[in-house]
Amino acid sequence: MQAAGAAVGGIGAALDQAGAGQMVEQRHQRGLLDPHGLGQAVLAAAFPRMVAQQQQRRRRGVAEAEGRQPQIGLAPLGAGDGDEMPAEAAEQVGRGEAVHAELHRFLIMRVQFIAAAWRAWLAGRRRRAAAHSGAAGNPRGRGPVAVAGNLPGRDSMQRRAMMGGAMSGLAGAALLPLAAGSAMAQPASGMAQTTPRMTAPGATVNDDMAPWRMRVLAGGVFSMQTSALAAERARTPSVRAFAQFETAEQEGMLRAMQLAGLPVPAQVPLPGEALQELQAMQALQGEAFERRYLAGQTATHEALLRAQQALLSGGLPAERVIAALAVPGIEQHIAMLRGIG
């Protein structure tokens, strides 16, 4: 899996150079917020060589199907034009493309989340403005109030399509035992009593990073479980949208870690405080539940940010790659949580 890790080296810097956040804002202002197309644009900036190779392979396939000579551009990895790629090189490229595909899906999902969160924030701002103007013009406060999330039909359909697209690719998350239904259904008993088992026993692990590594895993599982609960119970559209995307993103992060060959436990034991918080949330409903969920997510994301920053500077090579992608995303989530709250 070292080749797979090398295939995605420098992803954090590449995404920064691509200006993903700026692309989202500009396309939203122009009414061109197409998550898939935006993800492709950012991906092309982050992986120019691999994207060029994929385009060349597609051109080759079309040319062969039409019975004409393809125009040769960039040569495939590890091979000259017309040569067969060695089996070992082909296997390495296949592994690299598997991780590339996972990161592509992860990137598309993040852009979809930013789009939904942006729309929810705008809807909330319109709702507050309408409530303020209604209260000013009507002493009884019976002015019209825009409901967040009830955007025009096209936006609502696009949001449902984005949600479905983000969630549909996660059916394979059952391959990761800690994301399986049994662990989600009984977090208090099943997870607290299970000893972690590493999926990559041959990996060299820096013991100094072990506490940070477990904080990332435990924080991710706690965030995933509480968000799955919030996706069912939250009434505010912006809170429910955040919970749905947070659940999907944490599952995708765990799958990316597994694909990169990182030491991922079969099950993650949640700390006692996290279990108590989860049990307390299960007893709440309505606004009280949402307030506690948002407060817990903010605290968890702040802890995840510190842990990922530690792994970014001293973790395994693949951990540093994932941390470079995770840190700006966590910072975005913290800002969004404060805006929603």
Question: For 210-340, CATH number?
Answer: 1.20.1260.10
Alpha-carbon distance 230 to 242, whole Å? 9
* Top-confidence residue, 305 or 50: 305
CA torsion angle for 37, 40, 41, 44 (degrees, to 10)? -160
Q: Which two tokens stand for residue 278?
A: 């989860």
Contacts of 32 (CB under 8 A, 6+ apart): none
**211-235 tens-digit pLDDT:** 898 899 999 999 999 999 999 999 9
CA torsion angle for 45, 48, 50, 56 (degrees, to 10)? 120
Q: Please give the pLDDT value at position 149.
A: 35
**105-125 tens-digit pLDDT:** 666 666 555 556 556 666 767
Q: Report the predicted TM-score, pTM, of the whole model to 2 decimal places.
A: 0.48
Q: Please give the pLDDT value at position 104.
A: 57
Distance spanning both ends of the chain, measured CA to CA: 41
* Top-confidence residue, 318 or 70: 318
pLDDT-derived band at 77 (thresholds 50, 70, 90) equals very low
